[in-house]
């Protein structure tokens, strides 16, 4: 396998006396679809929160493309190319669908804070580019028809797609999706699986996702990390994981 784009070592996080995540390590290559599974409360979301800079891990290192990015806050992680969605969609409900995409990109235009910047040609060029990218991603996700509607009016499945579009508009190299299929109907789930594979194929990004739907996990993942009570109990290709006795006992056994 090629060198890891995302490399995590010794990641641990406690809340009070609760050790939510203990000594997690993972390597994900560019082009890889990587699932994180495990029972509720296993620590999956906490791992994503630590990797994406929403929590500062108690200990451990995160490297992106060989560079140490441990402990950076989420907006800096995003600027370095690592973005994530949340277990429940977090959209700006009063803004339109298009505006939700523009806001995401503005968070990247840090130079917009310089005095006089808004009247500069470079700003207007950046604005134009942001608008073009927003439209392009709406079209890509087949959300173009909803561009001017408040995001709160989107059907739930479309809100989920908008969240992914917003991530993609930031031009990530690593995309983390926390339970992207939760609340989707079967045909939306199939569409999501195709989308994940398409994003990987077309943009060569690494995609990590947390998911409970085993047919989706087994169907599209290159590798799977299985967590239970904060710890990694297995990591490998779908066939290896499926055959692992610890996994069967801890997780798949009750399917
Ligand atoms: N912000 C927090 N404060 C306190 N406890 C938390 C917090 N976030 C998660 N936990 C606890 O950490 C454990 C792992 O949670 P989480 O990472 O959300 O699990 P999962 O995503 O696998 O369901 C759970 O026991 C949860 O209650
Ligand atoms: Mg979770």
Q: Which ligand is nearest to the CA of 44?
A: 1
Nearest to 168 by CA among 95, 110, 84: 84
Residue 197 has, within 13 A of its CA and on its CB side, a CA count of 12
Greater confidence (93 vs 11) lies with 11
Q: Say whether pLDDT at 14 is over 70.
A: yes
pLDDT tens, position by position, 56-92: 999 999 999 999 999 999 999 999 999 999 988 788 8
Contact 131, 103 (CB under 8 A): no
- Alpha-helical (H) ranges within the chain are 44-51, 74-79, 97-106, 121-140, 156-169, 186-203, 214-220, 238-243, 245-250
Residue 79 CB partners (closer than 8 Å, separation 6+):
108, 110
Please name the residue that has the structure tokens 């479309």.
158
Order of strands, edge to edge, in the sheet holding 18-28? Answer: 18-28, 6-15, 59-64, 67-68
The two three-digit tokens of residue 140, written as one number: 């890509």
Per-residue pLDDT, 124:
73
Q: Which ligand is nearest to the CA of 15?
A: 1
Q: Which ligand is nearest to the CA of 38?
A: 1
The two three-digit tokens of residue 77, written as one number: 């992680």
Ligand 1 center–CA 15 separation, angstroms:
8
Please work out whether the CB of residue 43 comes within 6 Å of at least one atom of ligand 1: yes
Q: What is the mean pLDDT of the chain?
A: 90
Ligand 1 center–CA 115 separation, angstroms:
42
pLDDT tens, position by position, 95-144: 899 999 888 666 555 545 555 656 667 777 777 888 888 999 999 999 99
Please work out whether the CB of residue 44 comes within 6 Å of at least one atom of ligand 1: yes
Q: In this structure, is the dihedral angle defined by the CA atoms of residues 183, 185, 188 and 190, taken in order, positive or negative? A: positive
What is the phi/psi pair of residue 118, to 5°?
-65, -20
Ligand 2 center–CA 123 separation, angstroms:
39
Ligand 1 center–CA 149 separation, angstroms:
34
pLDDT tens, position by position, 199-209: 999 999 999 99
Helix axes 97-106, 156-169, angle to 10 degrees: 30
Please name the residue that has the structure tokens 């990218």.
133
pLDDT bin (cut points 50, 70, 90) of residue 43 is very high
Please work out whether the CB of residue 39 comes within 6 Å of at least one atom of ligand 1: no
Please work out whether the CB of residue 49 comes within 6 Å of at least one atom of ligand 1: no
Please work out whether the CB of residue 20 comes within 6 Å of at least one atom of ligand 1: yes
Q: Say whether pLDDT at 1 is over 50.
A: no
Please, what are the domains in the chain? Answer: 1-81+172-255 (3.40.50.300), 91-171 (no CATH)
Distance CA 153, CA 126 (A): 29
| Residue with CA at minimum distance from ligand 1 atom 5 | 15
What is the phi/psi pair of residue 127, to 5°?
-60, -45
Ligand 2 center–CA 179 separation, angstroms:
7
Distance CA 225, CA 56 (A): 21
Q: Helices (H) and strands (E) in the chain — how many of each? A: 9, 10
Helix axes 121-140, 97-106, angle to 10 degrees: 130
Which of 36, 41, 251 is the pocket-test mutation for ligand 1 (most atoms within 8 Å of CB)? 41
């Amino acid at each position: 396998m090629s060198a890891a784009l995302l490399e995590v070592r010794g990641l641990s996080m406690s809340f009070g006396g609760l050790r939510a995540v203990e000594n997690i390590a993972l390597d994900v290559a560019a082009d890889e679809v990587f699932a994180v599974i495990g029972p509720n409360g296993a620590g999956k979301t906490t791992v994503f929160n630590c990797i994406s800079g929403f929590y500062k891990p108690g200990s451990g290192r995160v490297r992106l493309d060989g560079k140490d990015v441990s402990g950076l806050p989420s907006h800096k992680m995003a600027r370095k190319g690592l973005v994530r969605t949340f277990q429940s969609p977090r959209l700006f409900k009063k803004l339109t669908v298009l505006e939700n995409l523009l806001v995401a990109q503005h968070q990247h235009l840090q130079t917009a804070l310089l005095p006089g910047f808004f009247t500069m040609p470079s700003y207007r060029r950046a604005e134009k580019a942001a608008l073009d990218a927003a439209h392009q991603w709406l079209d890509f996700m087949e959300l173009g028809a909803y561009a001017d509607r408040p995001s709160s009016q989107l059907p739930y499945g479309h809100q989920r797609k908008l969240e992914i579009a917003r991530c993609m508009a930031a031009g990530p190299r690593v995309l983390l999706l926390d339970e992207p299929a939760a609340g989707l109907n079967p045909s939306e789930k199939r569409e999501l699986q195709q989308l994940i594979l398409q994003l990987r194929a077309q943009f060569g990004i690494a995609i990590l996702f947390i998911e409970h739907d085993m047919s989706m996990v087994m169907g599209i993942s290159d590798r799977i990390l299985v967590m239970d009570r904060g710890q990694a109990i297995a990591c490998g290709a779908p066939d290896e994981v499926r055959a692992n006795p610890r996994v069967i006992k801890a997780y798949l056994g009750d399917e």
